[in-house]
Amino acid sequence: MDRIGFIGLGIMGGPMAKNLLKVGYSLTVLDINPQSVDELVKAGATSAEDPCDVARESDIVITMLPDSPDVEKVVLGEEGVIQGIKEGALFIDMSTIAPAMSIKIYEALQDKNVQSLDAPVSGGYMGAENGTLSIMIGGDRTAFDRAFPVFQTLGKNIVYMGETGAGQVTKTCNQIIVGVTLQAVSEALTLAKAAEVDLNKVRQALLGGFAQSKVLDHQGERIIEGNFEPGFKLKLHRKDLNISLETGKEQQVPLPCTAIVAQLMDAGMAQGFGESDHTTITKIFKSTDRA
């Protein structure tokens, strides 16, 4: 089996790395949080000093990081992946970043005769933990075919989208739909609460009709329970919508609903909810303070 390097062991990356260990991959890991690294080492992984060290020890390098600048630094920086990665290796970025950054990294690694894929994911912490993520992949088809066994360990809905950057464009579309739907669910439950209608019954009724969605199912339940422990942080979803708006500008596509939700997320972050789950968007409504 290929030796895998995994950089970024956060809410999503940690469970993903563990799933790779469970099926027998040799894993070298790196994260800024020593506790996250220690947890993986105890499970059988090997730690590394820097991204260059990870790449030097790996046939496949995977990154799962917060934003475009993080990925750029880890991959193209002075001690980055590009400094240690071997000719013929494969790089897979599973972060959510700007499509333009995926293309920049692809071109830089091509000069090293290294294949590269952008493969962002959807499914949250539970999807990462259960190995049921939706993975949307951009890059060369030969690289996708090589990476497919790895993707099968991490996800269930694995879709090759096309050339480099296509995976990230697909992910930004995903984040638009989730964000706007989450706002709709928040508004609907706020209205029901203000009218003193049982929120659990409202959710049950709507799940049986045309309004049914995973957001209403899973996130609606969290809102009703007042469970705002981070499964996906509000600040990260806000970052993703910025990517959506920038991509829309590049393609000359207006995204008015996305812009409104982004502003509401800004309001939530200004109230100190950035580190909480993105469902805290509902807390900008006074009537949900008791939710």
Contacts for 148-154: CB closer than 8 Å, 24+ residues apart: 150/2, 150/4, 150/20, 150/25, 150/60, 150/62, 150/92, 151/119, 153/19, 153/20, 153/23, 153/25, 154/16, 154/19, 154/20, 154/94, 154/121, 154/128
Q: In the CATH hierarchy, which fold is given to the domain comprising 3-164?
A: Rossmann fold (3.40.50)
Q: Which residues are CB-neighbours of 254 under 8 A, at least 6 positions away?
A: 248
**Concatenated DSSP letters of 183-242:** HHHHHHHHHHHHTT--HHHHHHHHHTSTT--HIIIIIHHHHHHT----SSBHHHHHHHHH
Residues 250-268: tens digit of each pLDDT: 999 999 999 999 999 999 9
Alpha helices by DSSP H, 46-89: 51-56, 68-76, 81-84
Give the pLDDT confidence score for residue 284 in this predicted structure.
82
Residues with catalytic annotation? 171
Residue 58 clears pLDDT 90, i.e. is over it: yes
Residues 195-204: tens digit of each pLDDT: 999 999 999 9
Alpha helices by DSSP H, the chain: 13-22, 34-42, 51-56, 68-76, 81-84, 99-110, 124-130, 141-154, 166-194, 199-207, 214, 220-225, 234-250, 256-270
Query: Facing residues of 136 across strands?
Result: 159
Q: From residue 266, how far is each of 94, 181, 183, 189, 260 by CA, in Å?
A: 25, 17, 13, 21, 10
Q: Which residue has the tokens 């970025």?
A: 93
Residue 290 clears pLDDT 70, i.e. is over it: no
Tell me the longest C-alpha to C-alpha distance in the chain.
64
Give the pLDDT confidence score for residue 231 in this predicted structure.
84
Q: From residue 224, how far is each of 75, 188, 245 by CA, in Å?
A: 41, 12, 30
What's the chain's Rg over C-alpha atoms? 20
**Residue 158 phi, psi dihedral angles, 5° rounding:** -110, 115
Is domain 169-288 in CATH 3.30.565.10, yes or no? no
Residue 25 clears pLDDT 50, i.e. is over it: yes
Q: Residue 126 corresponds to which tokens in the numbers above? A: 């539970």
Give the pLDDT confidence score for residue 286 in this predicted structure.
53
Determine contact, residues 195/273, Cβ cutoff 8 Å.
no
Of 90, 41, 93, 38, nearest to 68 by C-alpha is: 93
Amino acid at 164: T
Residue 235 clears pLDDT 60, i.e. is over it: yes
Q: Which residue has the tokens 């393609």?
A: 251
Give the pLDDT confidence score for residue 175 in this predicted structure.
97
- Summarize the confidence of residues 26-51 as an average pLDDT: 97
Residues 96-144: tens digit of each pLDDT: 999 999 999 999 999 999 999 999 999 989 999 999 999 999 999 999 9
> d(Cα 223, Cα 207) in Å, to the nearest integer?
15
pLDDT tier, 1 (very low <50, low <70, confident <90, very high otherwise): confident
Using DSSP's 3-state secondary structure scheme, residue 281 falls into helix
> Could you state, in order of their start, the residue ranges of all structural domains in the chain?
3-164, 169-288
Dihedral in degrees, nearest 10, Cα atoms 100, 106, 107, 111:
160
Q: What percent of the chain is predicted at pLDDT more than 90?
A: 95
* pTM (two decimals): 0.91
Residue 289 clears pLDDT 90, i.e. is over it: no
